[in-house]
């Protein structure tokens, strides 16, 4: 029987320089929303050169745009194609999706970066640039897992489906489009930056907007008006109370290390039009976390009920109730059993590669895994190189050793999950 671990590690070491250069090229490509076409075409060419069946398409159509899980700030996706490459198996094996996104968040204030945000600079074993951690480094791990097995002459029984999608940062329309196109598998791995922790559960989230009303008056006689700014303070307190109630009842041990497992964050506040006028309207916008296994409609109902209870402590809210709107981005929560067969494989291969036991937690943020689990009957597990604490930050980077460690684990997992049909020892 082949010593797969040794063979895979040796081949990855041979390929390290070429693979690192590929990741540099990806990071140097500023694939922010609407500008993903060039990197996706490049990835499609790479997949084709590997002999995969490649599907490159721009999302469109009523089925997608009218789908209840469709969320995006746009409805036209010109310049933002999806790419899927299928490595066909010999048959009679389990299939696996390797799903990752190429859209990256904007670089932000460039003065806070030590170098160009898309430099791809390598220093002290780290590759720098927007998207290096979130999540082009993880995407490379997935690609290498396939290529290393091919170079070793391995033919798997089950199909491996490599997905390079857009729109993850805006709510998952890219992955939704792959599902509607018919792509599904027996399981999925999503190499988001988890610092190699294994996340069988992913928090969901959704954006909300609150309109808090007041009554305008001249600032010199402000006592004749009702300040929406002052009333908004009570609303913020009610949201904080709701957050505490929701988290106090959550007893999932995978969340025990997180101070607030499913936060409700208020990220935007706008109110008032004139310094000498009493503000008659304040708008609050935020993000509500949704627990794995929780229905998003149930979470919405709890928010509605909390806002209605404001009238019990302040009659003003009976007269002018807070208006609640759900808008913008949304990520579906996901959950896979901790004893799922793929979880067991990941545990074994992680320990074989690193000599350590894997840490299992639940994600503090949403991913496309919830969509795959809920809509494609494809249980999705999130595990990958990179750490959340540098994703979306200035000087984002990834440790290159971690990328190759993850690739080794994924390659071994593919062998065990999909099964080996044959090996051409001449390769």
Concerning whether 35 is annotated as a catalytic residue, the answer is no
Catalytic residue among 159, 168, 243, 294: 168
CA atoms within 13 A on the CB side of 5: 10
161: Cβ contacts below 8 Å, ≥ 6 apart: 84, 85, 86, 87, 95, 96, 97, 98, 183, 185
List residues bridging with 202 in a β-sheet.
334, 363
User: Do 284 and 228 touch, CB atoms closer than 8 A?
Assistant: no
Find the helix packing angle between 37-49 and 16-28, rounded to 10°.
160
The DSSP call for residue 8 is: H
Find the catalytic residue in 36, 103, 167, 396.
Answer: 103
DSSP letter assigned to residue 277: B
Q: For residue 192, indicate whether it is catalytic.
A: no
Structure token pair of residue 319? 């007269």
DSSP strand pairing (397-399 vs 126-128): antiparallel
**131 three-class SS:** coil
Bridge-based pairing state of the strands 188-190 and 96-101: parallel
Angstrom distance (rounded) from CA 75 to CA 53: 28
Longest Cα separation, the chain: 89
Contact 280, 215 (CB under 8 A): yes
Torsion of CA 131, 391, 145, 59, to 10 degrees: -60
Residues 6+ positions from 263 with CB-CB distance below 8 Å: 243, 247, 287, 289
State the catalytic residues: 103, 168
């Amino acid at each position: 029987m082949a010593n797969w671990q040794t063979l895979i590690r040796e081949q990855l070491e041979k390929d390290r320089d070429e693979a690192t250069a590929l990741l540099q090229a990806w990071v140097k490509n500023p694939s922010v929303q609407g500008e993903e076409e060039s990197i996706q075409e490049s990835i499609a060419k790479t997949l084709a050169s590997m002999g995969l069946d490649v599907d490159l398409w721009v999302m469109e159509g009523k089925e997608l745009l009218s789908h209840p899980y469709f969320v995006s700030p746009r409805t036209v996706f010109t310049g933002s194609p999806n790419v899927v490459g299928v490595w066909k198996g010999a048959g009679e094996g389990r299939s696996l999706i390797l799903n990752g996104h190429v859209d990256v968040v904007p670089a932000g204030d460039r003065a806070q970066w030590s170098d160009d945000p898309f430099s791809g600079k390598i220093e002290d074993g780290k590759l720098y640039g927007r998207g290096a951690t979130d999540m082009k480094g993880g995407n490379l791990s997935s690609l290498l897992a396939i290529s290393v097995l091919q170079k070793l002459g391995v033919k798997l029984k089950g199909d491996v489906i490599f997905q390079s999608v857009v729109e993850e940062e805006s709510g998952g329309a890219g992955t939704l489009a792959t599902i509607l196109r018919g792509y599904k598998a027996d399981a999925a791995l999503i190499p988001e930056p988890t610092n190699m922790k294994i996340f069988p559960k992913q928090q969901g989230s959704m954006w909300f907007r609150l309109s808090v009303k007041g009554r305008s008056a001249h600032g010199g006689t402000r006592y004749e008006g009702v300040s929406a700014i002052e009333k908004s303070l009570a609303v913020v307190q009610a949201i904080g109370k709701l957050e505490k109630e929701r988290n106090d009842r959550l007893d999932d041990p995978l969340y025990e290390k997180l101070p607030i497992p499913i936060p409700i964050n208020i990220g935007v506040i706008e109110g008032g039009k004139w310094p000498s006028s009493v503000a008659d309207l304040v708008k609050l916008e935020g993000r509500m976390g949704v627990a794995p296994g929780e229905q998003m409609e149930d979470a919405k109902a709890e928010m509605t009920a909390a806002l209605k209870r404001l009238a019990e402590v302040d009659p003003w809210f009976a007269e002018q109730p807070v208006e609640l709107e759900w808008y913008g981005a949304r990520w579906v929560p996901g959950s896979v059993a901790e004893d799922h067969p793929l979880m067991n494989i990941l545990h074994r291969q992680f320990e074989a590669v690193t000599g350590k036991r894997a840490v299992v937690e639940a994600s503090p943020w949403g991913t496309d895994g919830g969509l795959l689990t809920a809509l494609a009957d494809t249980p999705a597990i999130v595990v990958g190189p990179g750490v959340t604490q540098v994703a979306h930050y200035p000087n984002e980077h990834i440790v290159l050793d971690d990328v190759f460690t993850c690739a080794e684990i994924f390659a071994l997992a593919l062998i065990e999950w999909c099964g080996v049909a044959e090996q051409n020892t001449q390769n």
